[in-house]
Amino acid sequence: MFNKMRPKMQPAFFVFLLAIFLVVSVRPKAFGEETIRAAVPLFPLLGFPAFVAHERGFFQKEGLRAELVRINSTPTTFQTLISGGVHLAIGAPGGLVTLNLQGIDVVAIGSWDNVMPYILATREPVNDIQQLRGKRLGVNRPGSTPWLIMRVMLEDAGLTKDIKMMPLAGGSQERLAALKSGAIEAAPVSWALEPTLKKMGLYSFKGSRLPFITGAICVKKSYLQSHRSTLRAFLKGLLDASQYILADKKGTFPILAQIMRSEDKEALEYVYDYMRSNESPSLYPPEASIKNLLRMSAYDDPRAATLRAETIVDFSLLEELGQRSPQAATK
């Protein structure tokens, strides 16, 4: 799941990056504006508020000229961050843990997406995970994201010895085919395939969405210390964009269609409804999402169990902006 990072850059690294980067912002810098370069993943939803903030002027309102750089892989994203190619990176958090274990100080200052990007597909309706006792569960190889997700779920349910985890080649589509054929009774698949499940006569277990800091907003600690006002303005732009996404469907849809490169109204409706139901407009992840990140990382590298949450996250800027942890907000 968590790709091993190599902090040393190859000499031709930036030439390579120029070939894969797509810089979204080319607007001339206005007088007095700060510039911030942010790496965002090609999978659009992890960085979607950044695109909305850019398109609807929320960054500019905060005095920022934001350059959004789309990169095609998590390792490249973090390599670019630690080498100084960008000031900030949004994406999967595996590199966050790996880099800290290597002594490279990178922290998450917020997260838009705080649930695992998988659902548990089943052949029969399931209302309680205990109904899967004695069943066959299709996963990827040990150490893959689906394997790690299911290991955590089964441990929490006390079912590790009562469910057979069957390694299957391929991805979500291959697991769906095995599920439909009856070779297995359940399998984790991408959340984006939920409409497909219904068309295939399959089901999804609604209790399978584990808290997980998926869309981490990461910076080097040195940049956080020296550019707090710039990062605070960036987060404020994201917060405003997040509220806009929830409140203005009509204004959000054209950006969503552009980023997803799709005119399929049904698909766009599903993605928008997913965001409204699952994303974190406060950008403040629940404690469980961070604990699960460290827990899953420890399956790959036992040293991750020694890391404390405060080593890899710093939400002080969000707190300065009036945001609170979900736990504190309910007290």
Least reliable range by pLDDT among 58-62, 127-131, 167-171, 197-201: 167-171
Taking residues 308-320, report their average pLDDT. Answer: 95
pLDDT at residue 310 is higher than 80: yes
Region 235-244: mean pLDDT is: 96
Side chain identity at 171, as an amino acid letter?
G
One-letter-per-residue 3-state SS of 56-125: CCHHHHCCEEEEEEEECCHHHHHHHHHHCCCCEEEECCHHHHHHHHCCCCEEEEEECECECCEEEEECCC
Task: Give the least confident one: 175-179, 196-200, 208-212.
Answer: 208-212
- Is the predicted pLDDT of residue 70 greater than 80, yes or no? yes
**pLDDT at 53 > cutoff 70:** yes
| Per-residue confidence band for 5, with pLDDT thresholds at 50, 70 and 90 | very low
Checking if the pLDDT of 255 tops 60, the result is: yes
pLDDT tens, 121-176? 999 999 999 999 999 999 987 777 788 888 888 988 999 899 999 988 888 889 99
Residue 267 has pLDDT above 50, yes or no: yes
Count other C-beta atoms under 10 Å from residue 84's C-beta.
Answer: 12
Number of C-beta neighbours around residue 107 at 10 A:
21
Tell me what pLDDT residue 274 has.
85
The CA distance from 244 to 49, in Å, is 9
pTM: predicted TM-score of the whole model, two decimal places:
0.83
Q: Which residue has better confidence, 278 or 19?
A: 278
Average pLDDT, the chain: 85
Phi and psi at 201, nearest 5°, equal 80, 25
Q: Over 90: is that where the pLDDT of 71 sits?
A: no
pLDDT of residue 233: 97
Q: Percent of the chain having pLDDT more than 90?
A: 52
Q: What is the pLDDT of residue 44?
A: 57
- Token match 């690294």: residue? 13
Dist. CA 95–CA 78, nearest whole Å: 6
- Phi and psi, residue 107, nearest 5°: -130, 155
- Contact between 185 and 137 (Cβ < 8 Å): yes
The percent of residues above 70 in pLDDT, for the chain, comes to 88
Average pLDDT over residues 236-253: 95
Chain mean position to CA 25: 22
Identify which has the larger pLDDT, 111 or 142: 111
Q: Which domains does the chain have, with CATH numbers?
A: 13-115+213-329 (3.40.190.10), 118-208 (3.40.190.10)
What mean pLDDT comes out for the span 175-188? Answer: 94
Give the pLDDT of residue 187: 94
Residue 327: the pLDDT is 62
Q: Residue 315's pLDDT band (boundaries 50, 70, 90)?
A: very high
| Gap between the Cα atoms of 233 and 64, Å rounded | 7
Q: What is the pLDDT of residues 11-43, one digit of tens each?
A: 434 433 443 444 444 445 554 578 999 999 866
Ranges 16-30, 82-96, 230-244, 268-282: which has the least confidence: 16-30
| Residue ranges of E strands in the chain | 22-23, 34-41, 64-71, 88-91, 106-111, 118-122, 136-139, 164-167, 186-190, 203-205, 216-220
**Is pLDDT above 50 for 330?**
no
Q: Strand, helix or coil at 281?
A: coil
Residue type, 172: S
